[in-house]
Structure 1
Amino acid sequence: MKLVEACLGLAALILVARLVQIQIVEHEHYEWIANNQHTGDYLEKAKRGVILDRNGKPLALNQPCYEIAVHKRLVEDLAKTGERLARVLQRDKSEVLHALDKPSPFVVVGRRVPAEQAHTIQMMRLPGVTITEMSERIYPLNEKLAQVLGFVGIDGKGLSGVEYAFDRYLKGHDGLRVVQRDALGKKVMPVYAATEEEKDGDTLVLTIDRVVQVIAEEELDAAVAKYHAKGGSVVVLNPRSGEILAMASRPGFDANQAPKRAPNAWRIRPITDIFEPGSTFKIVTMMAALADSIKKPNDIVFCENGQYKLFGQTINDPEKHGWLSVRDVLKYSSNIGIAKIAQEVGKRRLFQAARSLGFGNKTGIDLPGEVSGILKNPTEWSRFSVAAIAYGHEVAVTPLQVAMAYAAVANGGKLMKPGIVKEIRTPEGERVFQFRPQKIRTVMNEKTAAVLRDILRQVVESGTGQMARVEGLDVAGKTGTAQKPLQDRPGYSDNKFVASFVGFFPAKQPRLLVFVDLDEPFPVHSGGHVAAPTFRKIVTRLMEVWSPPPV
């Protein structure tokens, strides 16, 4: 009997000791376990920053949407619930039932569900069905500016274009809150504590002008259709500051449907795709010859009546010319004349001039995927290379490189860094970045630039660029027509061309520059007859919006 009493006393003592340990010594530990069973950390998603054009017009916005999910353990009849959800979500019944057949106890059956459908499901009060508010990225311009803007993935992260390049500013920082939850871990009570406040993303204001962008894209579409081209691009910029006002290319895609298109369509072609420029590259030789006083505008060059043999190869001109002045070599776009001038300039000075104008280097624009183009070192040139490069063969450039090189002529000799972002603002309105024009280097003096501007004005007035003339406006520019290199062997195609035109206005004090190229137009293929008229149409429409053009 005494032994039993002793055992009971010992047990009681142990129990008391354990209670003391639990309630006093390990009180905080067990309190944490209890709280953790009924509370949890809840991620409060930050709102992604919006993207606006230079005038505050929306380019990328957030739209509320909903996610529909099913807690299978709380559903009595999965088949019936699946059928009802499929009808509202306008999805195939078998597809929804297949998703519910997965072993997971929690299944998402609808993402990015519109508010109307979510409200209908809410009114149905289906047991085990949850509705969670989300956010969907939308692009009001659809296919317009799509490559530049890019798009976001299902997780809200930027995957291409501006959305990718400036994701760190746009994404913000998610918050963390403590919430009460049920046995399945679902949040059932409002937030009652916050460990970290969310911070919405910054607002991104681009240098793009939405009106200019729409005009550029509409006229590019019309030109691609009219001339049966594979594609093309347009760049509109302020030559003084380097601000990009429009950047368009075809083929394109709808940014709202980006995942349905192959990644090849996402490329920002004016900075990722290279081509042999043809006669627009003649500005390089002309700049070097005039700047170094190798030639004067009124010096004359014999253009061999349209055909010239050099180092075993034949250079042809579209029109036969005898003696031409240096200015007329550019005005009438003589390959022979520019090749002869380049021989006097020499390969090292020609290379240096091309580099100085930005060819062979990235422009530095804040967009992903830019390439440098191809400009080989003179040690790799053949004896014929000086002539070929002078009229835009044996080199490869991007549309933006050509535009920035001509911008240097337009602004008096300064190669500018192109800008795509005008400013970045926090949700509170604090400006964290503001665009300022950035000169990369001076490539020629104002005198040389003025002479070139005058010659380019004559190109449009009475030379190969006459179809770029705009009534009441003093336009300067240059045509380009380049045979495309063969893909399977050395040489050039006889029926595949890239037609281009780059021009600026007013000629004496340029405020806007427009570059146009069309890939494989047919049957008309010259820059003067394909790209120049497209330039004219774009500029004519711009002048209906702006008169005079803005600074």
Structure 2
Amino acid sequence: MNIKNSILVRVRIAFLMVFLFSLAVVGKIFHLQLVQGDKWRHMAQEKTINFQKVKATRGNIISDNGNLLATSLPFYRLALDPSVADNKLYKQGLDSLAYLLSVHFKDRSPEEYKRRINNARQEKRKYLMLNSRMINYQTKKQMETWPILRAGRYKGGVIFERTDRRFNPFAALGTRTIGYVNQQSKGVVGLEASFNKQLAGKDGQALFQRMAGGGWKPLNDGSEVPPEQGWDIQTTIDINLQDVAQDALYRAVTDHQANYGCVVVMEVATGEIKAMANLGKLKNGGYAETYNFVVGQQGRTDPGSTFKLPSMIALLEETQIEPTDSIDTGNGTFRYNGAVMNDSKPGGYGKITVQQAFEHSSNVAFVMMMRDHFRGKAQRYIEYLDAFGLTRPLGFQMLGEAVPYIKRPEDKTWSGITLPWMAVGYESKMSPLHILAFYNAIANNGKMIQPIIVKEARITDNAEEQYQARVINEKVCSDRTLRIVRKMLEGVVERGTAKSIRNNDYKIAGKTGTSQKLKDGRYTREYYTSFAGYFPADKPKYSCIVVIDGPQGYRQYGAEVAAPVFKEIADKVYARDLEMHKLLTAETAPESTAFPLVKAGHFEDLRYLCNQMGISNHGRELEEWVVANVSDNSISWKNKLARKDEVPDVTGMTLKDALYILENQGLKVNYRGRGRVVSQSQQAGTHILPGSSIEVVLN
């Protein structure tokens, strides 16, 4: 065979192989289309169409009077099915739509938007993400009026893909208490986590189709299962008290450059928490709500002298000691089982009564009393703490509650000094909330109740779950003991370590606490300061605890650091609660019946009247509102108003003038009687709480 024939054979064989391969391809196509077509179509559909979750809208967290503390706001992404609109609608609206998209999003020119939409329509694509940027509900409503989009989903092809975002209307106020959610809309900490089951609702599902570009388009074929919205939870938080507490705490921790601080304000009779603030120090030196020290493990520590209250109650219940009994504390230093206990006062208190020992927080006196009455009976003392409800968790509604640690005689670390040291607040671990619950029991006639922060969970106006404070102990002590310790707590403020916060308008009862911090097994010169108590002492309505950890500077004791914060909060609560306090009576100077009644008012008006009546009057550098000082048939004018952020003194004014001044300061005015103002419920010169009420009495 010559070379030419050989090449021809090879070519024919190659053509034959190509022909056979082509037949095989055609055969395979035929087999796939006709024999296996249904199988592959089904598999393709499974890849592009499936059921997906439709997230439920998370419930709201609201305050005691209905203010939103946390809510879910809807946001949307704008997409389009360009194949839906008919030719007339599409041609008329495309240019305007492209222009509006460009102006709003500012990421593409109108020509680029127009080209993208045109290309998608020519390719018969069913889904085009116009812009992935989120828009809010108001913007969505605006876009629904734009060309093509205004025709709606079924005629214009517009698709608004909704997603919810969590929003706290009061920003940083109580953020750690309220908590936050993760990207899966699940609560992580705080109330968001503790009540996640109620808030989360139940997810639905719907059929979605995967479109070119990776997006998913809902098919709305009638098979969707709608989601069930989460329940709202109503808290006990009073947003005004929360603001007051957090503001006072912030000033204190920044002033003292403390490690952290926390405050809880609770209603005595109900156990409802009205304010809970936590501020921890950040690396940059600022403060924020990073951890719940009120409830959690990091806030559990030696309580210090606030623990002398349960110790005193155990002593009174176990023995026949009286507040008037004497104790010789000597020079304020006492050696016991090889350890030394000191009083804070240099040189000691000498011979004092039991009442004074509590008021001045004498460590030496308490160690001596525990030695005399509980030596050899340590278990008996622990049994009292058990009975009081101090050794078990409160069962608080929020996750992460710290378990109290009370050392027992069988513990390996129990020593010969453990019992007396426990009595003054060492070698135990308690959370601030647990200490407050016990102090609240004393204010509540001995009944210890579980603090609560959520009253109910509801959907719209229907309550699904309601919560009340559980009674932990019907009576923590006898009536005799209760009377004694209440007087002791009042004495702490009247004459003792907290006398700096005493005031004449209402009584405070409470106890200061200062404990050295334990580091590496040794007590250091760093302190944990606190003040726990209630007010008004004669008819308690609120209890409160303030903790400032690790204050810097020369003021490092509870009386100097924590107690002033308590008083600031109590003052503002007292000022805004008209039912809690008596009206302050203004001092009035005696007047001669022969001289016209002139007290206070608008300067120009009063001066005009006096000049018309021939009454001598004078004054320098006067403001718009003045008070009259009558002397020898002559009037000297003095300026009346306080600073802008202080409560004005309107005593002596007519109702018209008083209303004008008070309402311009942002106060809500209630009044009774006729004539001139003789008393006002908020003391002049105190800081104004915006939106608070003031009552004036006229006579």
Which range, TM-score by smaller chain? 0.7 to 0.9
Structure 2's unaligned 5+ residue stretches are 1-33, 82-101, 109-126, 149-157, 283-287, 582-699
SS at match of 1:208: coil
SS at match of 1:196: coil
Instruction: Answer yes or no: is the 8 Å Cα contact 1:470–1:536 preserved in 2.
Output: no
Could you tell me how far 1:291 is from its partner in structure 2? 1.6
Could you tell me how far 1:386 is from its partner in structure 2? 1.4
Pick one of 63, 71, 76 that aligns with 1:66.
Answer: 76
Aligned to 1:325: 353
Change (3 A) 1:176 1:342: same
Aligned to 2:59: 49
Instruction: Answer yes or no: is the 8 Å Cα contact 2:206–2:218 preserved in 1.
Output: no
Instruction: Answer yes or no: is the 8 Å Cα contact 1:143–1:252 preserved in 2.
Output: no
Q: Going by fraction, where is helix more abundant, 1 or 2? A: 1
Instruction: Answer yes or no: is the 8 Å Cα contact 1:88–1:120 preserved in 2.
Output: no
Change (3 A) 1:391 1:109: farther
**Computing the radius of gyration over CA atoms, which structure comes out larger, 1 or 2?**
2
Aligned to 1:11: none
Letter in 1 for 2:75: C
Could you tell me how far 1:38 is from its partner in structure 2? 8.7
SS at match of 1:296: coil
Instruction: Answer yes or no: is the 8 Å Cα contact 2:535–2:570 preserved in 1.
Output: no
SS at match of 1:537: helix
What are the superposed Cα offsets for residues 28-59 of structure 1, whole Å, 9 maximum, x if unpaired? x9998899799653543321100101111110
Please give the alpha-carbon distance, in whole angstroms, between the structure 2 residues aligned to 1:383 and 1:183: 78
Q: How does 1:66-465 map to 2 (within 5 A)?
A: 66-67=76-77, 88=107, 114=136, 132-178=161-207, 191-251=220-280, 266-272=290-296, 273-319=299-345, 320-343=348-371, 344-345=373-374, 346-380=377-411, 381-427=414-460, 429-441=461-473, 442-465=475-498
SS at match of 1:132: strand
Instruction: Answer yes or no: is the 8 Å Cα contact 1:213–1:246 preserved in 2.
Output: yes
Q: Would you say 1:498 and 2:528 are equivalent positions?
A: yes
SS at match of 2:569: helix
SS at match of 2:331: helix
Q: How does 1:491-530 map to 2 (within 5 A)?
A: 491-494=522-525, 496-523=526-553, 524-530=555-561
Letter in 1 for 2:420: A
Letter in 1 for 2:344: P
Please give the alpha-carbon distance, in whole angstroms, between the structure 2 residues aligned to 1:131 and 1:213: 38
Out of 497-506 and 285-294, give the one that drifted further.
285-294
SS at match of 1:270: coil
Change (3 A) 1:293 1:189: closer
SS at match of 2:181: coil
Please give the alpha-carbon distance, in whole angstroms, between the structure 2 residues aligned to 1:84 and 1:352: 75
Letter in 1 for 2:305: S
Could you tell me how far 1:544 is from its partner in structure 2? 2.0
Change (3 A) 1:329 1:114: same
Please give the alpha-carbon distance, in whole angstroms, between the structure 1 residues aligned to 2:274 and 2:570: 13
Could you tell me how far 1:445 is from its partner in structure 2? 2.5
SS at match of 1:140: coil
Change (3 A) 1:70 1:430: closer
Could you tell me how far 1:240 is from its partner in structure 2? 2.3
SS at match of 1:449: helix
Please give the alpha-carbon distance, in whole angstroms, between the structure 2 residues aligned to 1:252 and 1:547: 36
Pick one of 561, 567, 579 that aligns with 1:536.
Answer: 567
Please give the alpha-carbon distance, in whole angstroms, between the structure 1 residues aligned to 2:301 and 2:44: 68
Please give the alpha-carbon distance, in whole angstroms, between the structure 1 residues aligned to 2:482 and 2:305: 18
Change (3 A) 1:224 1:68: farther
SS at match of 2:188: coil
Name the Cα RMSD after superposition.
Answer: 3.7
Instruction: Answer yes or no: is the 8 Å Cα contact 2:295–2:433 preserved in 1.
Output: yes
Please give the alpha-carbon distance, in whole angstroms, between the structure 2 residues aligned to 1:352 and 1:106: 72
Please give the alpha-carbon distance, in whole angstroms, between the structure 1 residues aligned to 2:260 and 2:388: 26
The TM-score with structure 2 as length reference comes to 0.63
What are the superposed Cα offsets for residues 111-149 of structure 1, whole Å, 9 maximum, x if unpaired? 755568889999899xxx986221110012222211111
SS at match of 2:532: strand
Change (3 A) 1:211 1:265: closer
Change (3 A) 1:339 1:48: same
Instruction: Answer yes or no: is the 8 Å Cα contact 1:88–1:121 preserved in 2.
Output: no
Could you tell me how far 1:349 is from its partner in structure 2? 2.5
Please give the alpha-carbon distance, in whole angstroms, between the structure 2 residues aligned to 1:456 and 1:187: 66
SS at match of 2:240: helix
What are the superposed Cα offsets for residues 297-320 of structure 1, whole Å, 9 maximum, x if unpaired? 222111122111111111111221
What are the superposed Cα offsets for residues 189-215 of structure 1, whole Å, 9 maximum, x if unpaired? 762414423210001001111111111
Could you tell me how far 1:67 is from its partner in structure 2? 4.6
Could you tell me how far 1:289 is from its partner in structure 2? 1.1
Change (3 A) 1:266 1:107: farther
Instruction: Answer yes or no: is the 8 Å Cα contact 2:175–2:289 preserved in 1.
Output: no
Please give the alpha-carbon distance, in whole angstroms, between the structure 2 residues aligned to 1:39 and 1:169: 32
Change (3 A) 1:38 1:233: closer
Instruction: Answer yes or no: is the 8 Å Cα contact 2:50–2:209 preserved in 1.
Output: yes
SS at match of 1:369: coil
Could you tell me how far 1:244 is from its partner in structure 2? 1.0
Instruction: Answer yes or no: is the 8 Å Cα contact 2:279–2:291 preserved in 1.
Output: no
Higher relative CO (CA 8 A, sep ≥ 6), structure 1 or 2? 1
Could you tell me how far 1:471 is from its partner in structure 2? 3.4
SS at match of 2:500: helix
What are the superposed Cα offsets for residues 279-309 of structure 1, whole Å, 9 maximum, x if unpaired? 1111121001112234222221111221111
Instruction: Report sequence identity in percent.
Output: 29
Aligned to 1:80: none
Out of 388-397 and 183-192, give the one that drifted further.
183-192
Structure 1's unaligned 5+ residue stretches are 1-18, 72-82, 90-104, 254-263
Please give the alpha-carbon distance, in whole angstroms, between the structure 2 residues aligned to 1:439 and 1:548: 26
Please give the alpha-carbon distance, in whole angstroms, between the structure 1 residues aligned to 2:524 and 2:402: 24
Instruction: Answer yes or no: is the 8 Å Cα contact 2:315–2:321 preserved in 1.
Output: yes
Change (3 A) 1:194 1:521: same
Change (3 A) 1:38 1:213: same
Change (3 A) 1:469 1:175: same
SS at match of 1:547: coil
What are the superposed Cα offsets for residues 405-424 of structure 1, whole Å, 9 maximum, x if unpaired? 11111112222111111111
Instruction: Answer yes or no: is the 8 Å Cα contact 1:408–1:415 preserved in 2.
Output: yes
Please give the alpha-carbon distance, in whole angstroms, between the structure 2 residues aligned to 1:87 and 1:358: 63
Instruction: Answer yes or no: is the 8 Å Cα contact 1:291–1:444 preserved in 2.
Output: yes
Please give the alpha-carbon distance, in whole angstroms, between the structure 2 residues aligned to 1:409 and 1:397: 18
